[in-house]
Amino acid sequence: MPCDQGAELGRCCCRTLDPLERTVLSDPTVPATALLPSQSAVDASGAATARAAMVARLEKSGDLMPGPVREALLALPREVLMPQAYVRRSAQNEMSPRWDLLDFSRPGDRDELLERLHSGDSVAIQHGGEPILGRVPGPRRGGVMTAMSSTMGLTAGLLQLLDVRPGQRVLDIGSGAGVTAAVMCFVCGDGGVVTLDIDPHVTAAVRERLSALGYRPAAVTGDGTAGWVDAGPYDRVFVSFAVRRVPQALVEQLALGGRALMTLGTSSPSWPGLAVVERRPDGGVEAELRAVEFGHRAGAGFDRLFLSAGFRATITPDQGRTQRSRLAPPPDTDRGMWLALDHLCPGLVRDFGAEDLTVGAPECGSWMRVKESGYRRWDVTTRGPLDIWAEIQEVAGRWRAAGEPDVYRLHFDADGSQRATSPNGALTWQLFPSDNGVPR
């Protein structure tokens, strides 16, 4: 099947492919691991079936459409990019979490690892900043996961919006497991791809595993917010971690007609925005902030707030004061309102696991819970110095007066500040002056 640029699939990687490679890349029923002699003992047909099933689920959910990204996800063997991955064995709130590092070379791990890699969920690949290459599989205890592959629905949707094309120069920031870099190499050709990560262990693993697939992009280590000027300017820039503001260096490294995508957020993980930055052919820059349901996790040095198990245990009627309200809480689908609330009233965190609308401010101990109690009646229970319910209703009113936008324009001012503004200008806020924004 030809790609959307009309080129032969065999030339989407901008190199001449031998007959076996052409067969693998054009027929998803043929295992891509046939390209890898070291993988000859692997049950590659099972991996190819799992890839096809994953792609079918992404298509059914609307996260994936026909085109080069779909072809790449069908062809690229995830078990080569992630031959080891972690699964959690402990309960979510267990104080010292327990993990198992599964290894594809161990027959007893293979089925569970294949299921994990193709579930569509995020995949943890690094524990506590450890070296990734040469690890001994088995149990781990405590600590945190420090690198992962993002959920496939999020990744597929963003890569399609990025609109990568053959021959483009692409900067992939936050290498992770190398999935996005592999897709970019498949579509654009590896000679134009730079994948950048702050962790040298991640860089080393991505370099080796992309090489096993026949790709040799520039895999470099450095601060993602500074970009990689040596190979710029770039037609596409993709950032796979959240930032508080658009890094100016990345804007400067965009080529004419270029596009950059990144999750933009605050200290709260609850209401992300997607920054879409484009450099016009005349050199000017246009950018917007879109309210989205899901975004990337915070990057290195970006502390996030969370509602601990102890904090959530205090959110009960007998711990707060309850009032009856005829005002309805804004629905989850009013994403533009929740995005504005996140920036105008920073420090709020949503408990998405709660049955009723529940929002806390962990730094001051305030919280709010809203429960429907009848026709157009809600019981609002609050505790702490902040009246979170009043803040929500005040921002909701301003958002409705602004025309209920889900997309805001991003302004880059001459003094280096950045602002988000509704299309009619009625609702605006300034982004944090740096990635170390002042908490509430």
The catalytic residue positions are: 150
Cα–Cα–Cα angle for 345, 348, 349, nearest 5°? 150
Q: What are the CA-CA distances from residue 240 to residues 151, 284, 419, 430 (Å)?
A: 11, 25, 22, 23
> 342-353 b/e with 16+ CB inside 10 Å = b?
bbebbbbbbbee
Assigned token pair, 100 = 């198992």
What is the gyration radius of the CA atoms in the chain, in angstroms? Answer: 23
The total of other beta-carbon atoms located within 10 Å of residue 96's CB is 8
Q: What is the spatial distance between Cα 430 and Cα 284, in angstroms, rounded to a whole number? A: 21
Do 186 and 72 touch, CB atoms closer than 8 A? Answer: yes
Angstrom CA distances, 294 to 136, 154, 244, 270, 329, stand at 33, 7, 16, 9, 21
| Rounded CA separation 185/192 (Å) | 8
Measure CA of the first residue to CA of the last residue in the chain; give whole Å: 53
Distance separating alpha carbons of residues 334 and 339, to the nearest angstrom: 9
Which of 381, 278, 265, 262 has the alpha carbon at shortest distance from 321? 381
Backbone angles phi, psi at 263, to 5 degrees: -75, 130
